[in-house]
Structure 1
Amino acid sequence: MGVSNHLPCNIEDVVDLLSIPVVRSSGTQLHCRCPFCDDRKAHLNINLSKNVFRCNRCGTGGGVLHLYAEVNNISINTAYEELCRIFQSGEKAPEHPVRKAQTKVKQSKPALELASVEARDNTYSNLLSMLSLGTAHRESLLGRGLSGSEIIRLGYKTTPAVRSAKIVTELLERGCDLKGVPGFYVDEETGQWKLDIRATGIMVPDRNCEGQIEAIQIRLDKDTHSKFNTLTSVDKYYGATASCCPHFAGVTGEEDAVYLTEGVMKADIARYFSTVLGHPCAFVGLTGVSNINQYVRMLEELKRFGINTIKVAFDMDLHVNENVRKARDRVIQVGCENGFEVIPKRWSSNYKGIDDLLLSFIERRRITDSIFGRL
């Protein structure tokens, strides 16, 4: 390695001297944990051929002398003198007070207030009308028991993988207002609106009691932590935080009761299955079993419909999942306190969700029909 500034050492020698943790080496570069910030993922890049360093996290950078001086909190001249004594005369490195790593302060980006329900519904409706449903996603939904016509009616679409710039342009040409609509933000460099798609999957509209789309949930292709996330542009420049609503499926106000379940897609599927079975039921899906704010909003809206009975159809993993059980008990308590008749529904644990249970009824009927024929 070459010696910079006539020093008797190079930057790799100094990295070793300072005991900076090297996570990986590519031969010409070292990737280390930065001693200047609370780095845990090797953001410090050491260029061995140029004898320079830079942290991609906190921005600290420089040459050999800067690295030694910054770590020890001394001047460049003192750093030069000490390195010469250490590497030329073999002196022991002097002790310096340990420099405390600085926590990187995350700069908050300007955000917009959530757009009105009408603006979100208009933008999301136009967005979904421009997209298509991929073959793999369509086959997946058919495999869950939905019909082709029902999939079209529900308006499920595949997240766009390309041409997002054209999509944004067309939305603006259609007169859609993107300000405050979660999923859209402004590019800091160009000032242009952009669509923020963070993961691939099936886009599922979250509709309120009026049928308006207030948010879009995404059934993820890879569910490492969760099966669903919500289209958002939180932490983006002039982005917006998503706000989901209780999802109404088949609620007209003519019903005596609604079934309460977990999730937007589950409510849609369960509603369809009940219709296929000849007993169409109304469903409301919460985007989280413990989302009490959504639930309270649902209660107020049910009152306006004149519906006072709620049948709680949470997944049967409540027998082994304490969080689901507690959420179910809380739902019953709050519903009763608000004057509703709340009835918990149970079924065999062989079928986790209400959609699984209803699909089993459909499959049994198909078997019966195949054996005896329709009457």
Structure 2
Amino acid sequence: MIPAEKIDEIIEKLDIVEVISKFVQLKKSGKSYKGLCPFHPEKTPSFFVSTEKQIFHCFGCGTGGNVITFLMKMENLSFNEAAMVAAEMAGVEIPKTRFSSEIDSKKKEICETNKIAMDFFKNMLESKYGSQAIDYLEKRGISHDYREKFGFGYAPAGNKLVEYVKEKKLSIEQFEQAGLITKKENEYVDLFKNRIIMPIFDHRNNIAGFGARAIEESQQPKYLNTPENYVFKKGNLFYGLNWAKEKIKNVDFAIIVEGYFDLIKMHIAGFENTIAPLGTALTENHMRLLKRWTNKILLVFDSDSAGTSAAFRSLETILSEGCEVKIGVMPSGFDPDEFLDNYGT
């Protein structure tokens, strides 16, 4: 729990008008400010913010509170999560337990290690090793500009990452902790070999891990993800949410597809409110995260039996979280990637 005196300090230091103005267009109205309520549809402003009392109140839906309450409701956060966000805005340091400090330190290390790895993989894609991978991506309609946008890289055959880490005198244990390098028979080896690499960002643009697609069809499995760790938890992450969240908020609905390339083709086609789970069923954590931007969802899964089953499994989770959902049905034998290749938008 965050100490009560720290909560008071946060509220005292933050200007509630400045914070709410990031989300709501406010206009001066006497001693207060007013705007359209972000929590219910309205045409006439009934949402008021008091600079004197440092509170907000909507006379239309009755929602009100302080700056932390606003962040809780606006971003769908728990009290502690909202208080931590507010503390960062206010420059208030929150004391941490030794355990939570250690976890935060490990998370930071993993994200920093992933950034080094992403740069390495991107350089490999543009090197002599990456020609086959570039040919593959070009054939799938992914040009240089989109390779840059989505951060594509390449992991060569062999143990090039291990060699790079040793050459640069980096901590091989950190790369092992991030799941990029593993030990086999007392030897360090690369996890990803001869694979196209796609960085997976969390919604705050931290690199949480990687997805890796085999180039050779004989390679199994076809897709390989970073192993679960302090940062990479598949049930908490959407691929593409970092790119899609603002568009989702603007259009007030999210399109959910199954795979990496489905998402990329959807974005290229202009459907920039598209996201994808990481080869796993939708979880309550997925939905609670997504509800920060919308509670309206269009599922567009593959037309095969696995895709249909995944869509129906997802329905229960989506509906249990109070979201609206529609299902887009692909023609038989198509996934969104293939459909766009054949028929365009």
Check if 1:301 corresponds to 2:298.
no
Of 221, 224, 232, which residue of structure 2 is paired with 1:229? 224
* Cα displacement (A) at 1:171: 6.2
Partner of 2:273: 282
Partner of 1:355: 337
Of 119, 128, 137, which residue of structure 1 is paired with 2:109? 119
Distance 1:115 1:140 in 2: 38
C-alpha RMSD of matched pairs (Å): 3.3
Classify 1:216/1:147 alpha carbon distance in 2 versus 1 (closer, same or farther; 3 Å).
same
Partner of 2:52: none
Deviation digits for residues 272-304 of structure 1, max 9, x if unmatched? 222xxxxx431111222xx23x53222111112
Distance 1:189 1:152 in 2: 36
Letter in 2 for 1:356: E
Letter in 2 for 1:283: T
Classify 1:300/1:345 alpha carbon distance in 2 versus 1 (closer, same or farther; 3 Å).
same
Partner of 1:260: 256
Aligned length, in residue pairs: 229
* Cα displacement (A) at 1:220: 0.9
Letter in 2 for 1:343: K
Partner of 2:99: none
Check if 1:325 corresponds to 2:308.
yes
* Kept after mapping to 2: 8 A contact 1:200/1:220: yes
* Kept after mapping to 1: 8 A contact 2:179/2:191: no
Partner of 1:81: none
Distance 1:187 1:355 in 2: 36
Of 250, 269, 274, which residue of structure 2 is paired with 1:273? 269
Q: Matched residues, percent identical?
A: 17
* Kept after mapping to 2: 8 A contact 1:256/1:309: yes
Letter in 2 for 1:219: R
Distance 2:337 2:117 in 1: 28
Distance 1:175 1:222 in 2: 28
Find the residue that maps to 1:304 and give its secondary structure: coil
Find the residue that maps to 1:203 and give its secondary structure: strand
* Kept after mapping to 1: 8 A contact 2:107/2:230: no
Distance 1:302 1:184 in 2: 31
Of 135, 142, 156, which residue of structure 1 is paired with 2:138? 142
Gaps of 5+ in 2: 1-102
* Cα displacement (A) at 1:270: 1.7
Classify 1:140/1:114 alpha carbon distance in 2 versus 1 (closer, same or farther; 3 Å).
farther
Check if 1:200 corresponds to 2:194.
yes
* Kept after mapping to 1: 8 A contact 2:253/2:295: yes
Letter in 1 for 2:277: L
Letter in 1 for 2:321: N
Classify 1:266/1:183 alpha carbon distance in 2 versus 1 (closer, same or farther; 3 Å).
same
* Kept after mapping to 1: 8 A contact 2:263/2:276: yes
Gaps of 5+ in 1: 1-112, 275-279, 365-375
Check if 1:182 corresponds to 2:209.
no
Distance 1:223 1:116 in 2: 36
Give the TM-score normalised by structure 2. 0.57
Of 222, 240, 245, which residue of structure 2 is paired with 1:251? 245
* Kept after mapping to 1: 8 A contact 2:181/2:191: no
Give the TM-score normalised by structure 1. 0.53
Classify 1:270/1:121 alpha carbon distance in 2 versus 1 (closer, same or farther; 3 Å).
farther
* Cα displacement (A) at 1:184: 2.6
Distance 1:114 1:183 in 2: 19
* Cα displacement (A) at 1:146: 1.6
* Cα displacement (A) at 1:359: 3.1
* Kept after mapping to 1: 8 A contact 2:259/2:276: yes
* Cα displacement (A) at 1:250: 2.1
Distance 1:229 1:114 in 2: 26
* Cα displacement (A) at 1:176: 9.6
Classify 1:283/1:170 alpha carbon distance in 2 versus 1 (closer, same or farther; 3 Å).
farther
Find the residue that maps to 2:210 and give its secondary structure: strand
Partner of 1:57: none
* Kept after mapping to 1: 8 A contact 2:151/2:198: yes
Of 208, 211, 235, which residue of structure 2 is paired with 1:214? 208
Classify 1:339/1:218 alpha carbon distance in 2 versus 1 (closer, same or farther; 3 Å).
same
Classify 1:179/1:331 alpha carbon distance in 2 versus 1 (closer, same or farther; 3 Å).
same
Partner of 1:311: 298
Check if 1:130 corresponds to 2:154.
no
* Cα displacement (A) at 1:223: 4.1
